[in-house]
């Protein structure tokens, strides 16, 4: 991938920073690293055409594999927020989406 955006990094730190110091300790980083590896595994599995991005349809499958069964309206909101104009999400956007869902649930 091309790496993570500043928004993605902030979201990941906010999710994992359990002690509230604005930094990730070794244990927090290790947990985050394992989650990113899991996200990448899911992303690659559902990037059916191996384009480096997933479609709105592939996103629904990927989110279900990650444990999120969402209604149609919420799925559409995520597409509106995280997808490019062609309705595809790259890995960075996918991670942002999953981090946001994890924060909400």
Under 8 Å between Cβ of 23 and 16: no
Strands (DSSP E) contained in 2-97 are 53-54, 89-90
Alpha-carbon distance of 29 to 10, in angstroms, equals 13
pLDDT 10s digits, 81-102: 999 999 999 999 999 999 889 8
CATH number at residue 50: 1.10.238.10
Say how many domains are in the chain. Answer: 1
pLDDT 10s digits, 24-67: 999 989 999 999 999 999 999 999 888 899 999 999 999 999 99
Domain limits for position 13:
4-102
pTM as predicted: 0.87
Alpha-carbon distance of 90 to 15, in angstroms, equals 20
């Amino acid at each position: 991938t091309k790496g993570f955006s500043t928004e993605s990094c902030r979201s990941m730190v906010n999710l994992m920073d359990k002690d509230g110091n604005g930094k990730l300790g070794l244990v927090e980083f290790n947990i985050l690293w394992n989650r990113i590896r899991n996200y990448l595994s899911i992303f690659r599995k559902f990037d059916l055409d191996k384009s480096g991005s997933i479609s709105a349809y592939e996103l629904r499958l990927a989110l279900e594999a990650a444990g999120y069964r969402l209604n149609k309206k919420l799925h559409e909101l995520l597409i509106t927020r995280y997808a490019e104009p062609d309705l595809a999400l790259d890995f960075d956007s996918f991670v942002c989406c999953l981090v946001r869902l994890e924060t909400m649930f």
